[in-house]
Amino acid sequence: MAVLLSLLAGSELYGQSPESDNKQANTNENMEIHSHHHHNQSGMSVAEPLDDRSVYQLGREWTDHRGESIQLDQFLGNPVILVMFYGSCREVCPILIQDSWRLYREVDERVRESVSVVAVTFDTEKDTPDVLMEYAEKERLNLSNWYFVTSTPRAVRELATVLGVQYRKRSDGMYDHSNLVAVLDKQGVVAARIEGLGRPVEKAAGEIEQMVQREESR
Amino acid sequence: MKQGIKTKLKVGTMAFLLFAVLSTRADAMVVDTLTVVVAGTMEDARFVPDRLTVQTGDVVRFDVREGIHTVTAYHPDNRRDIGIPEQANSFDSGPLTVGDIWFLQISVNGVYNYFCIPHESMGHTGQIIAE
């Protein structure tokens, strides 16, 4: 937990978006840290305490493109491909989504069923669940294990900070942002980072396969 | 190409002659390289020309002049209905920016529909017809 909190407290944010991020958001008092027992997607109890570096310590409420409330720690126990984007982007975000798709497809089909893909929007104002559903449909990614997700500006900023993703809203309503597709392990710790666009995905796919195989052999 | 044939005939062995004849046939296929310019950004993004007729075996060179684009096949691999010949391989250039050049060899007859991932919704699509 200390690692995660220090990341949040010590981060230099890349610009400050107008919606912005009260500095108070990055204090312990305002963090909703989840450290109790967790449940994975299949409802199995995961008794181990969360790793200090787990993204899932952020907690917060999130809503997916189906309008369903989700908790990040519901993904405990399985690998996650995590990407940050926004729906109205007509430059790099569609390529980031394609990169996430390439990584997902590269994973062995048998293992793929255990993988979730979570795409979190920067644009919490425009990207409502309905807009995200439209996006998922247009991209033909309204798949059972794909989640296009929104939350409060604060929660999105916290997640970005923990991932090392920088972003800022421009005056034209678009966003400047860094490009990252991350792989989270079963504890929600970043296990692989694909930074940039159109990068090879084979290595990260191999890591996902190994994670699942290790879990199966336990 | 003719110089290449002459050089092979001078060697004179039957085996090499056979190889030379086969090679000549392969060499005799005239492979052309045709250019599609990828221009514009956002609503102005476009392939020029957006419809191109080639001979099978030709190479299409995509020359990016502005913005960030992709050259991506309409194919289930790219989450789209198939829009290229079934025997052809799917393709996706990945991100291309100003100054990038990307080559696509057309190896199967038919119609190849492709799009730019960032600008598809703005009509940034193209077609290659291989005869």
Interface test with A, best of B42, B79, B120 (most A CBs within 10 A): B79
Q: Name the residue of chain A whose CA is nearest to B124's CA.
A: A90
Q: Is A134 near chain B, with CB under 8 Å?
A: no
Question: What mean pLDDT is predicted for residues B77-86?
Answer: 97
Q: Is A218 near chain B, with CB under 8 Å?
A: no
Tell me the sheet residues that pair with B97: B68
The model's pLDDT over B100-111, given as tens digits with 9 standing for 90+, comes to 999 999 999 999
Which chain B residues contact residue A90 at CB under 8 A? 42, 118-119, 121-122
The first and second tokens of residue A168, run together, are 């800022």
- Chain mean pLDDT for chain A: 84
Q: Are residues A95 and B118, on separate chains, in Cβ contact within 8 Å?
A: yes
Distance (Å, whole) CA B95 – CA A206? 23
The pLDDT value recorded for residue A50 is 83
Residues with Cβ within 8 Å of B35's Cβ and at least 6 positions away in sequence, in order, are B60, B61, B62, B63
Distance (Å, whole) CA B91 – CA A131? 29
**Do A144 and A117 form a contact (C-beta atoms < 8 A)?**
no
Is the per-residue pLDDT at B89 higher than 70? Answer: yes
Question: What mean pLDDT is predicted for residues B6-31?
Answer: 46
Q: Is the torsion defined by CA of B71, A170, A72, A159 positive or negative?
A: positive
The model's pLDDT over A130-154, given as tens digits with 9 standing for 90+, comes to 999 999 999 999 999 999 999 999 9
Whether pTM > 0.95 for this model: the answer is: no
Q: Is B42 near chain A, with CB under 8 Å?
A: yes
Confidence of residue A30 (pLDDT cuts 50, 70, 90): very low
Which chain A residues contact residue B94 at CB under 8 A? 95, 197-198
Q: Name the residue of chain A whose CA is nearest to B43's CA.
A: A90
Report the amino acid identity of residue A69: S
**Do A186 and A85 form a contact (C-beta atoms < 8 A)?**
no
Please count the other Cβ atoms lying within 10 Å of the Cβ belonging to residue A196.
Answer: 15
Q: Are residues B95 and A141, on separate chains, in Cβ contact within 8 Å?
A: no
The model's pLDDT over B20-65, given as tens digits with 9 standing for 90+, comes to 434 444 455 678 999 999 999 989 999 999 999 999 999 999 999 9
Distance (Å, whole) CA A189 – CA A72? 12
Kind and range of the H or E run holding B68: strand B68-69
The model's pLDDT over A83-129, given as tens digits with 9 standing for 90+, comes to 999 999 999 999 999 999 999 999 999 999 999 999 999 999 999 99
Distance (Å, whole) CA B71 – CA B102? 9
Residue at token pair 């204090």: A27
Q: Is A101 near chain B, with CB under 8 Å?
A: yes
Please count the other Cβ atoms lying within 10 Å of the Cβ belonging to residue A209.
Answer: 19
Output the CA–CA distances (angstroms, integers) from residue A107 to A192, A209, B101, in the order listed.
14, 7, 29
DSSP string across chain A: -HHHHHHHHH---SS--TT---GGGGSGGG-----S-EE-TT--EE-SPPPTT-GGGG---EEETTS-EE-GGGGTTS-EEEEEE-TT--SSHHHHHHHHHHHHHHS-HHHHTT-EEEEEES-TTT--HHHHHHHHHHTT---TTEEEEE--HHHHHHHHHHHT--EEE-TTS-EEE--EEEEE-TTS-EEEEEESSS---HHHHHHHHHHHHHHHH-
Report the amino acid identity of residue B29: M
Which chain A residues contact residue B44 at CB under 8 A? none
Confidence of residue A59 (pLDDT cuts 50, 70, 90): confident
* ipTM summary value: 0.78
The pLDDT value recorded for residue A2 is 52
